[in-house]
Homo-oligomer: A and B are copies of this chain.
Amino acid sequence: MSQAFRLKQSIEDAVIAGEFLPGDRLDEASLAERFGVSRTPIREALLQLGAEGFIDVRPRRGAIVSVPSPTRLFEMFETMAEIESACGRLAARRLTPDNDAAMETAHRACEIAAHEGDSEQYYADNRNFHEAIYRASRNSFLADQAFALHKRLSAYRRIQLRARNRLLQSLQEHAGILEAIRAGDEQLAATRLHDHVLVQGERFSDMVLGLAGDRRSDAAGRSGTAK
C-alpha cells in the first residue's frame, strides 16, 4: 500500500500512544526526516488526519494535535455516550450467538485485568469489550463511527482509568450492560451504556477543571454555534 496511508497510521498511533501531546506541533520537515520520506506523503497523511478531526490543520500555520476545550471534550464524551447507547440498543435487538460469545470473551479478559489491578491491560481489554458491542449492533457503518470516536477519545479515557477503584466499578457496569443486552432489553442496555460512558466524561472533566460542578449545565450554557 502507499506510504501516505502507512504514515497516516503511524502518526495516528504516535498520537494515541501519547508521544505527541495535545498542542504539540506536527512539523512536516521533522516528520519527513523521522520516517525517511519527503514532505509530500507526510502532508497527505496530515491532511487526512485533519479531515478525520484527529489533529488540527490550520492553513499556512501547520498542524498540531487537537486541544479540545473542556466543554468540547464533554461534548465528545456525550456524543460517544449517545452512539454507544445506540449500538447497545441495536445489539439487544439483534444479538446472535457469535456476537454474544465475542462479548463474553472480552468481558472475561476485563475481569482478569481488573482483579490484577493492571490498568494498562484493562485499558486494552476494555477497548475490545466496547468494540464487541459495536459489532453486535450488526450495523457496520455505525460501528465504524463508534470505533473512530473511541480512538479519538482514547488518550483521555486512559488517564481516567487510572483512578483508584474505577477498574472494578467499570467491570461491574460492563456486567450490567451485558445482562441487559442478553435480556433483549433495548431501553435498559441503552441507558446503562450511556451512563457508563458519560461517567467517564464527567470524571475527566472534573479532573481537568479541578472542581465538581454540574458538567451538563456547562455544555448547555455555551453559545453552541454548530458547523
Q: What is A's interface to B at a CB cutoff of 8 Å?
A: 1-2, 4-5, 40, 43-44, 47-52, 59-60, 72, 75-76, 78-79, 82-83, 86, 89-90, 94, 131, 134-135, 138-145, 147, 219-220, 222, 224-227
A149 to chain B, nearest CB (A): 8
Total identical chains: 2
Distance between Cα atoms of A28 and B139 in the complex (Å): 33
Q: Which 4 A-B pairs have the closest CB atoms?
A: A143-B226, A51-B51, A82-B86, A75-B141
Of residues A49, A83, A226, which shows the largest number of chain B Cβ atoms within 10 Å of its Cβ? A226
Q: A140's contact among B59, B86, B225, by CB below 8 Å, is which?
A: B225
A22 to chain B, nearest CB (A): 16
Known: A59-B5, A226-B135, A227-B147. A76 touches B141 (CB 8 A): yes
Check A75 against B222 for contact (C-beta < 8 Å). Answer: no
Could you name 15 residue pairs across A and B whose Cβ atoms are closer than 8 Å? A5-B59, A40-B40, A47-B48, A47-B51, A48-B50, A75-B139, A78-B141, A79-B86, A79-B141, A82-B82, A82-B83, A86-B86, A94-B220, A147-B226, A147-B227
Task: Tell me which residues across on chain B come within 8 A of A142, comparing CB atoms.
Answer: 75, 78-79, 82
In the bound complex, how far is the Cα of B69 from the Cα of A140, in angstroms?
Answer: 12
Nearest opposing residue in chain B for A59, CB measure: B2
A139 and B78: CB pair below 8 A? yes
- Which of A90, A138, A222 has the most chain B CB within a 10 Å cutoff? A138
Given A82-B142, A86-B82, A220-B138, does the pair A59, B147 have CB atoms closer than 8 Å?
A: no
A224 touches B44 (CB 8 A): no
